[in-house]
Structure 1
Amino acid sequence: MAGTIKEGACDMKVDILASGSAGNCVAVATCGKTILIDAGVAKTKIEKRLLEVGIRPDHIAAIMITHAHNDHIKGLTLANKFRIPVWATEGEWHKISGVDEDLRLTAETRFSKYEMIDLGGMHVYPFKVHHDAKEPVGYAVEDDDGCRCCIVLDTGHVDQDIIDMMEGQIIIIEANHDPDLVPLCSRPESVKARILSDIGHLSNEQTAAALQQVIRGRGERIYLTHLSGENNTPQLAEMTVKMALRQRGFEAGEHYHLEVVTGA
């Protein structure tokens, strides 16, 4: 679940430590710094998986929270143990407890856009997404060499602002469900409606349509994440994206790299 893309002096590494409704956590490393996007599995599991990919937990520079649903913050007390600063929006902090006060940092807005968070060689850009949380965001991470990774984990639809943030070499995006499978699942009707809504989760088709707009065939790395175990399959997600990008003349392995990530 890891990948590195290099262009000249650019070297950015991502490790997807957990993905799905049981928990989400992504490590992004560049310029000698590592951050986590979300901490949605038990802190002991995060520690173990960090060590497995060669990252010391006490070397994490920050944890960036997309939103306060449990599958994104379950292991957030990891921050207290290793004194890691935690960033979240003001709206999401209202739903987050258990983080020591001196570690709580807020993503600020100016003229309706989030301000860049400068971590010294690593620049983090929060951006608005559309999910049933108070103030959810995605994150784009860029280094001084111009290498860029965009993380879009939970959103019911993709707007032009999100498309603009997705430009870059690495894209981590949810491909949550196949719309034809959702009505057939055993979940309550209210949950099905939520999944399919504009503040729910992206379908394979929505994800594919977004990628059609941003992929340039320059060797981009795409990671499809947050797949539903009940309403999707890795094969469906992969096929839908490949077919959409083939319409643009792009083939996997030749013009871009694609990985479907499952499991927490």
Structure 2
Amino acid sequence: MNTNPRTAVITGAASPKGIGMAVAARYARDGWAVVILDLNGEASSKVAAEIGAMHDVPFFGHAVDVSDEASVDVAYRAVRAEVDAGNLPPVGALANIAGITSPVPFLETTRELWDKVMAVNATGTYLATKAFLPDMLENRWGRIVNMSSVSAQRGGGVFGKVPYSAAKAAILGFTKALARELEDSGVTVNAVAPGAVDTNIRVGSTAETEAAIARDIPLGRTATTDEVAAVITFLSSEDASYLTGSTLDINGGSHLH
């Protein structure tokens, strides 16, 4: 439970079957105010209002393209205005969830695809973090949780291929380096590396593909979005105060190292 009122900002949280929405709901259940940032501003506002009303917490939704610095800056300023107006408590957590995958064999990829996957996953994490980190540093308290993937650790093998695995691996390096740089700032930086999760990110996947993925997991099934959300909100809690630069695996045993 978040006993000291703070706001959690979640990127990529307006998709009905996505990890981001589950994360936002879990934050709200734990007493956090929630800010939902997604490409679709109308959906962001709607989902934020629904989650806020359900859990009786302050809320805000706004459009953002995490791969575009100007868009991220506009979203940050909108959130900061809500904080300054007293509509939201200070931002205490940032969950960088926004991402896209790329189930395309390497020699069939294009530079455009490579750049897009890198921009949304890796650059988006960089831009959102750079926007919201200064306020956390000023308040001497913050939790940044970045979304990587088991694909970064085992070299694909789930659904996303080379560009996706490379982008998610970049997030692991980003997480460790920033955690070390922030040192005794009161801000921790961690990552999660889910395996297959029951979401809609695997566009074009078939029932046969999903069954094959599940067979490759020792626990015999894909993760639920709530299981991933529980780990992310734990990393944002007071109980996780001694964790920074870490990566928590949520893969059902599909990658052991």
**Normalising to structure 2: TM-score of the pair?**
0.41
Higher relative contact order (CA 8 A, sep 6+): 2
Where is the helix percentage greater, Structure 1 or Structure 2?
Answer: 2
Where is the strand percentage greater, Structure 1 or Structure 2?
Answer: 1
**Normalising to structure 1: TM-score of the pair?**
0.40
